[in-house]
Amino acid sequence: MATLVVPQNVSVVEDAENLRKAFEGWGTNEKVIISVLAHRNAAQRKQIRLAYWDLYQEDLVKRLESEIKGDFERAVYRWILDPEDRDAVLANVALKKSSDYHVIVEIACVRSSEELLAVRRAYHARYKHSLEEDVAVHTTGDIRKLLLGLVTAFRYEGAEVNSRLAKSEADILHDAIKDKKINHDEVIRILTTRSKTQLMATFNSFKDSQGTSITKVLLGETADNEYKRLLRIAIRCINEPIKYYEKVLRNAFKKFGNDEDAITRVIVTRAEKDLQLIKELYYSRNSVPLDQAVAKETSGDYKDFLLALLGKQD
């Protein structure tokens, strides 16, 4: 369930003209940018970019970058791109900072198989390399194995579940954790090649036999390293993406000075998907509406833009 609110009658040509007017004259009219862009879906935003080019022979994305600044600009820039192109940008930016590899795991594990292929295609077009090529160059060892497996996966998406297999692979995962070998090839094989439905059955089987979830057991694991962190994120993104995103937001607000990149990323990438569910979980978990938390922790046009994406009506 999306939070994005799109009016019934949209003229992309008028939108392009209004944006142009917002850029001209004294200063930029940020209110117009928000009222147009934060209420259009991905297909409409693409049409607006095309219409703007046709009318003014100017790249709307570049113009926006020169008109606005800071967190607001970053949020608008990410929002206006096609979803697969945005993910390609997010992955590429994340590759430059090893502490951000969880963004790559998130894209690889939350997106559908066809969506992930579209991201890989967009990555080619934008960076003249393959995503896996850049992942492989930037990483080594177990982290490389895990990330490569995740970004190159094209998981089967049928509903079939093999319960016997779920049980035996839950045992493999459990043995690997017990033997302190969570970097074992078999763990990576299971997590990177099985269908999400099959993996959910495996995680359930783990919980049934161990009495506690695999992510909790991993948390208690002594090895406290980056590989373990990414492995847990992969499992959470596959198994319970809404819970995962709610926690990303909660942690982002907790951070000193907030983590605007994370706040922007969750709201921008989920507004057309399941942000409503994330909002509901956030409220039940924190007893504060997500909009209110966002309003408290952000300011200015950036705040108004995020609130619009969260479903606030003008």
Where on the chain is the footprint of its own copies (CB under 8 A)?
A: 117, 120-121, 124, 128-133, 136-137, 140, 144, 148-149, 152-158, 160, 185, 189, 192-195
Our CB check for its own copies shows the closer of 62 and 124 to be 124
**CA-based nearest residue to 188, from 197, 180, 206, 176:** 176
The answer to whether 273 and 3 have CB atoms below 8 angstroms apart is no
Distance from C-alpha of 65 to C-alpha of 229, rounded to nearest angstrom: 34
298 is in an annotated binding site: yes
Our CB check for its own copies shows the closer of 153 and 231 to be 153
Our CB check for its own copies shows the closer of 185 and 208 to be 185
**CA-based nearest residue to 48, from 83, 78, 12:** 12
**Minimum distance of its own copies from residue 223's CB (angstroms):** 21
**CA-based nearest residue to 166, from 204, 109, 214, 193:** 204
**Minimum distance of its own copies from residue 231's CB (angstroms):** 17
**Minimum distance of its own copies from residue 112's CB (angstroms):** 12
27 is in an annotated binding site: yes
**Minimum distance of its own copies from residue 131's CB (angstroms):** 8
> Within 13 Å, how many C-alpha atoms sit on residue 5's CB side?
12
Our CB check for its own copies shows the closer of 22 and 237 to be 237
Our CB check for its own copies shows the closer of 124 and 180 to be 124
The answer to whether 102 and 143 have CB atoms below 8 angstroms apart is no
Which residues, other chains included, contact 113 with Cβ-Cβ below 8 Å and sequence gap of 6+? Answer: 153, 154, 155, 156, 157
67 is in an annotated binding site: yes
297 is in an annotated binding site: yes
Our CB check for its own copies shows the closer of 141 and 257 to be 141
255 is in an annotated binding site: yes
Distance from C-alpha of 137 to C-alpha of 292, rounded to nearest angstrom: 42
**Minimum distance of its own copies from residue 243's CB (angstroms):** 26
Backbone angles phi, psi at 8, to 5 degrees: -65, -50
**Minimum distance of its own copies from residue 272's CB (angstroms):** 25
Distance from C-alpha of 223 to C-alpha of 37, rounded to nearest angstrom: 45
Q: Residues comprising the binding site for Ca(2+)?
A: 23, 25, 27, 67, 255, 257, 295, 297-298
Q: Residues comprising the binding site?
A: 23, 25, 27, 67, 255, 257, 295, 297-298
